[in-house]
Every structure is written in C-alpha cells, then in structure tokens.
Amino acid sequence: MKLFRGAILAVLLAGLVEPAGAALPEAITLTVAAKLELTRGDKVTGSIGLAPGEKLALIDVAGDYALVRYRNLNGRVLAASTDLPRAEAAGLPAEVAGPPQPAAALLPSAPVPTERTARAYVPANALERALAGKLVHLENGALRPFDAARLAGVKFYAIYYSASWCAPCREFTPGLVDAYAKIRALYPEFEVVLVNADRSAADMAAYVRDDGMAWPAVRWDAIRDAREITRYAGSGIPCLVLVDENGRVLSDTNRWGRYVGPDAVLDDTWKILRDYRRKNPRVKT
C-alpha cells in the first residue's frame, strides 16, 4: 500500500462575537461530558454528545448557556459544563457574582434516577452484547471506560478499522470526524466504533486524541477477543463497515472481492439513514 501524507484535522475557530460588558474568553473547554444543542436562529434543531476536553469557540452567554461554535456547527451548552468562569457564565461583573466557587460547583446537578438508570444496563441487541465491557472513549485527554447505556437506541454502527501508522487512514479520518458530527446531529441512531490496529494502547490513545475522534473504540487489549466485531474486517485498512443493530452488513469497504474504499460506505450511510428517517420520523418534543 503506498504511503500518503497523513493529515490532522484543524478545528477552525472563527466568527467570534465579543459581547458588551465583561470580556469573554475566545474559547472554552468542556470539563464534563455534555450535550451540544444545535441551533438555527432561536430554534434547537438537534444535539450531539461531546466528551470532556472538547474545545469550543465562545460566541456569547445567555442565561445558563454558553453560545458556541463547534467545528462548523452553531449551538449551545450548559455553561456549568465548561471552564467558563462563574462570573462570565452568569453575565455579571466579578464583584457581583462573588468569589470563585470550587470545581464541584461548576458541575451540573446529578440527574434524577429513572427506572432505566437506577438499575444495571442490560444490552438490548447483538451489537450491544458484543461491545459490552469492551469500549473506551476520550475523556480528559485519556481513554476511559465507555458507558454501554449510551448505546441505547443505536440502530446503525459504522465499524472503523484503522491505525495511526496507516497514511491513508490519517487522510480519511478527518473527513469521518466531520461527517460523524453532522450525522449524529440528525441521526442519533448512528454510532461509529473504532477497531484499532496500532502496536500499543498508547499509540491508539494518541491517535484518538490527536485526530479528535468523539466516538467510542474497542479497548486495545480487548480487540483480540472481540471476534463478533473483528469478523467484519477486510484484508486492508482503512476499512469501514456499516452494520445494523443485529450485526447484518449494510455496506462494506470490500465488495465482491474488490476494495472500493471507506468513502463509498460513508455515501451509503447517508442514503440508508435518510431512508430510515423517512420511514421513522423523529418525534418532536
């Protein structure tokens, strides 16, 4: 396989507006996992989950929310989920807002337990069972265990076989990162899962961190035993395989003995998800 020059995604922060009053920082960082509510005008059009450590361009503050830009998306997050200083989050001068509070005061209050969260989560389908206990995700710059309950409702999985030493992978991954943010905003029933082929867990963690992968990954030391997931892999990488919740292949990088590339699967994913949405409209809240 010929080597191509690797590419690292650059997150462009532009179009910042400095509000009147206390000066606001140009960028803020998520201190906990948070939901980015995507907005168009005054309307919320969808949401995506973001991991701690994600950088957001700060536009303004409005009540409990920080108005931000994430990659090419406009939205809002709870200011308490970020490192935005308390006075600026409240839109008040520091002397009015009072002295800085301990870090615990910046965390959102714990959710009220529901019947689903009060008991241990039980995998609902073949893919959830195959992935249970094997997933990690990026949190505070390191890979941490991924809560399997976050897969509830996912009906389409794009299994991504990749490695940091693979130059074509490094060229494809930034485009997948962009597509992932857009797809998740429209189709929360979709998820990407990384199956890494790096030579060490440290190399895998650096790859996930440096390329800004917001999706979960099979833990490096669990890949060898994850046969239900590795069985979809072809003979080369990058390889992307779209499967449904029961493990049925919907689109594959390798077709009829020919390597067609992961972009073809990404195109198919959009078509399949649009068809799914026509048949299963989102319930408006």
Nearest 5°: phi and psi at 152?
-60, 130
Supply the pLDDT for residue 65.
Answer: 85
Supply the pLDDT for residue 23.
Answer: 62
Looking at the chain, which residues constitute the CATH 3.40.30.10 domain(s)?
A: 126-279
Looking at the chain, which residues constitute the CATH 2.30.30 domain(s)?
A: 27-106
Q: Which helix (H) or strand (E) holds 198?
A: none
CA end-to-end span of the chain: 49
Distance CA 278, CA 276 (A): 6
| Bridging pattern class, strands 249-252 and 254-255 | unpaired
Supply the pLDDT for residue 176.
Answer: 97
134: closest CA among 225, 232, 242?
Answer: 225
In the CATH hierarchy, which top-level class contains the domain 126-279? alpha beta
For the chain (length 285 residues), average pLDDT per consecutive 10? 31 33 74 80 76 85 85 84 66 41 36 45 85 92 90 95 96 96 95 96 95 96 92 92 96 92 97 96 74
With 0-12 / 13-18 / 19 or more C-beta atoms within 10 angstroms meaning exposed / middle / buried, residue 78 is buried
The SS3 assignment for 182 reads helix
Give the angle subtended at the CA of 198 by the CAs of 192 and 203, to the nearest 5°.
95
Supply the pLDDT for residue 275.
Answer: 97
Give the angle subtended at the CA of 154 by the CAs of 72 and 215, to the nearest 5°.
45
Q: Flag whether the pTM goes above 0.75.
A: no
**Residues in the chain, total:** 285
Supply the pLDDT for residue 285.
Answer: 56
Do 176 and 267 touch, CB atoms closer than 8 A?
Answer: no
Pick the CATH number of 27-106 from 3.30.70, 2.30.30, 1.20.1440, 4.10.280: 2.30.30
Supply the pLDDT for residue 33.
Answer: 76
236: closest CA among 157, 159, 162, 158?
Answer: 162
The neighbouring-strand residues paired with 145 are 136
Q: What's at 230, amino acid-wise?
A: T
